[in-house]
Amino acid sequence: MRKRKTEKEVPVRNNPGICKRFEYDESKKTWKDTGKFRAMRRVVKDGISRKEQAIFSNIEDARNFRGGSTDKPVSSGRDIHLNRPENSNVGMTFGGLVAKWKPFHFLKLEHSTKQTYEKRLPNLHFLMNVPVERIKTSVIDDLVSHWVETYPKGGQRCTFEKELNLVKVILNFYRKRINPSYLVPVLLEHYEAADVAKKATPEVASLTQEELSKFLDELKSSKSPIFHTMALTQFCLGLRVGELCGMRWEDVNLDTGVARIEQTVSWDLMTWEPRIKLRPKNGKVRILVMPEILVQELRRLKPQRDRDVQLIFHKKGGPMNRQTIGKAYNRALERLGYTHVRGTHMLRKTAATVANEITGDFYAVSRLMDHSSPNVTLRYVSQTSAGKRKVADALNSALMNQEKKKESSKAIESSNDDLSAPVPARPRHENPVLLRLVKSNG
């Protein structure tokens, strides 16, 4: 029989790297809070990354140690570490700033976005023990050099742009909240140096109108035609897959053809467990007009719905799994032989590309996509071959017009040359007419 553990540690929520310690009370058969916290961090000394940990009697000391505002504390001999007094006035380090930045900044982020940030933060360990006021241009130079020399192995990393963006976000938080006179030292030159592989910007992965039609037909003829309705809805409204999965029947008015996007579904990147968030990604409720073909499709689907479930698309009453949707789309794409697109987001990019191609109203497309800036929309709109042909034809037309103007100008000059030549004299008549004055007899 396995012996029960007498101690355990539980991660403290919103405090990564800090665990709370518990002891098992045999008399009450329950776990007792010891009031102790174990904090862990990584530091770079002499160019070598090392792991440090210490135990504290309060969460504040554990946070300071985790954030890098204190050195490795001394042990009191009671399984508790105490911060040295001389470290109490040390200026805020970058690690300490991260500890202050995360609880506030993460309030407005989706769970999946938080996990993405958590994956990038370890790449900033080079700065964690550096006081923020000492982070100047030269320190960012060293950071970029550290990345470029250490990380690229086997061509896995092409750029560190996202890590630099994260550094700017955190340092901007320091400037706005703590020291308004601080200048963020991340420069354009750092982005250029962090661009390890200088490559052409890849083409936006989207379907052409013909490919889209075949893709929808392929989904419609599959064993689960519900994915056809989902793909049609996502394309017609330009939705993110989370917004698609969060749509309810009460959000669509099939009489007026109007849809409200009020909530979204996010998935844990580790377990893929879904959860509903009561606001879309940018926190704004959107009112969209549904194309008639989508209205007819939803009218066909509505009588088949489970009246006890609010969601339009669901699995046993709960939100669908994003992986399941992506696999259904990918299987249809593979059967058609389309290898240039994958996943669920390609339908959103296809919607932006087709809408821009037909309407020519780029800013209307940007509003449909619910992007914070038109610059983001540029990454969604593909320059199709038809669009490139239009540009080529326009340039060709401009050159042809110039050639025609040159030819017309030459013709006019030639005509003017003829008019300026000497005019031949009029030939004389053999019998010239003589004019006489006749006196009237009256």
Q: Which pLDDT tens digit goes with each residue over 195-208?
A: 876 555 556 678 98
Contact 384, 357 (CB under 8 A): yes
The residue assigned the tokens 């449909």 is 368
- Average pLDDT on 86-110 reads 76
Q: How far apart are CA 257 and CA 294, in angstroms?
A: 9
Query: By three-state DSSP, how is residue 5 classified?
Result: coil
Residue 87 has pLDDT above 90, yes or no: no
Average pLDDT, the chain: 80
Helices assigned H by DSSP within 52-160: 59-67, 94-105, 111-120, 137-150
* Whether the predicted pLDDT of 356 surpasses 90: no
CA nearest 59: which of 17, 29, 1?
Answer: 17
> Are the beta carbons of 52 and 44 closer than 8 angstroms?
no
At residue 214, the pLDDT reads 94
**C-alpha span between 219 and 237 (Å, rounded):** 18
Q: What is the per-residue pLDDT for 370?
A: 72
34 — pLDDT class (breaks 50, 70, 90): confident
pTM higher than 0.85: no
- pLDDT value at 361 more than 80: no
> Order of strands across the sheet with 252-253?
252-253, 258-261, 286-289
Q: Which of 87-91, 107-111, 161-165, 365-369 has the lowest mean pLDDT?
A: 87-91
Question: In the predicted model, what is the mean pLDDT of residues 252-269?
Answer: 89
**Extended strands (E) in 69-223:** 74-75, 81-82
CATH of domain 209-385: 1.10.443.10
Q: Is 438 helix (H, G, I), strand (E, B) or coil?
A: coil
The per-residue pLDDT for 88 is 37
CA 99/CA 105 separation, integer angstroms: 11
pLDDT for residue 431: 52
Q: What is the pLDDT of residue 438?
A: 45
CB 256 within 8 A of CB 240: no
List the single range of 20-24, 247-251, 334-338 with lowest mean pLDDT. Answer: 20-24
Angle at 269 between CA 317 and CA 191, to 5 degrees: 140
**Looking at per-residue confidence, does 114 or 317 come out higher?**
317
**Percentage of the chain with pLDDT > 90?**
27
Lowest mean pLDDT among 197-201, 239-243, 260-264, 413-417: 197-201
Positive or negative torsion for Cα 220, 225, 231, 234: positive
